[in-house]
Structure 1
């Protein structure tokens, strides 16, 4: 199985990519709206087809990317039936099996943080994606969205803690740099529910917490009940001057076919060394301007802004950095030539 753990620094959210190596069909668990370009780039670079976007619950600290991923890829959306969110194709119930070709998950109803929380267990019970129900050495709060400390205790101890001790725990969040745990570890060391804590211990602990109101709750929860669809129903802004693709490394790129078809509409900036440019037969017919990468930051004021800029180099590596430099300097319409000038020779 292809497996990746991704992280959003703004909300401290983990997104999980699971895919079958043979079918190349993929699942994203708890995708974040603001990380859609990153996730789509990873799918593209790994040659995976997204079939399912799944949320463990209606999040209060970020907006899901489920709707946006469905719009862009045609994937289906899954979440707990009890949430009754819009645009959901697969409303999940306790014990239901779901997934893609080669990857099967079982949905466990684990309410308490919210009434619609679910955890997802792999078929071999080696991995469980616990959302906010069980965190590493902690758990989700239970003071909003129909939360209940009593129900949360039951979800953890009667459902999750019955999984094998070696089962790896992958939560929806961590705020201290921890990435995974195991059921055995949490049973022994969880600060709220481990080491033999009973329901009274746990409930009293949770009642004594005084946590600030989630900053995004008033925006996030209504949006997540729409599966992340913006209130106006409009897609977020994307570059409209060309077929720009954002790589997993965060680089805006344009391919050679598009550049050849729209050559007159852009300014091509060659960032190779001067001797490299002179020795390249294609340069005089393709390139508008030459500024070597090592002096680019010092010569930004020499670059006109009348057209979008496509940076080029031999392989596309230096031009990728050049595109990022230009973006950081305030150039809004910039892309690097994917795969570089080698493909023209």
Structure 2
């Protein structure tokens, strides 16, 4: 079967190859992959700026249909439509982080798509415990957004309290930023989102999702606009989904005293900013890394409720054969979420 493989370390070194299917072991299920989303992590692996363990099949945002299960697996059945939690495929299972559900901090963790083989292929054989059944009303396309949605859920729902009356500034209209927007819209928040000239297509999606105010920071002065929109008060909460040092500085500048900042995007390098703003404004600052088991339970509840808008965020579906063009379109911000399918 075909697979998109990082064949060795270094920039690039990704090829579409034929690989063998893996044998089914006890506790495992074999899933026929329906869709796998291209994540910023996949682009970082392409550029060799995110640790991977080649040769490894890329892709970790997957949905699919259970093809077969090991004889000891009872909670998942052949034919079940599932989302895959790929981050825990290799963990120690006994450290304090594993035992409390915060698997991202396990020192031995290797996730799908970088540490073990991922979803850019036809079949994955995986621990059945990380398969989550999708409600009938959720499409497999939407199911492939479970992992990035979990990242947004942890940021918005689990770190601190965000009130329905809050004005929230979200920087970066990429897939995570748009999912964050969709969640905040459900909460009833007043949402300001920022982007650049490169985000034109994503601007339209933000408007579809119900953003209250969209600011192009290359055409408008952010500080002036925030002052106008908040009667000079500043915003209650800022959430950076861009990983841009400039955007992060802007977040702290736009916060009102006693405000909250949540950092989602990864910058990838050190940068400087006026740290005294945290003291002078008495701000609360939260970092968020991916998700936990409790986050995934919330994601499944959101799917069950069927209130959050996900379809507008999926802007392209392409085949594995076209992976290079798909990666390039993501790199150039021409799309929001791109899904790959086998054929």
Q: TM-score w.r.t. structure 2 length?
A: 0.29
The structure with the largest alpha-carbon Rg is 1
Structure with greater contact order relative to length (CA < 8 Å, sep ≥ 6): 2
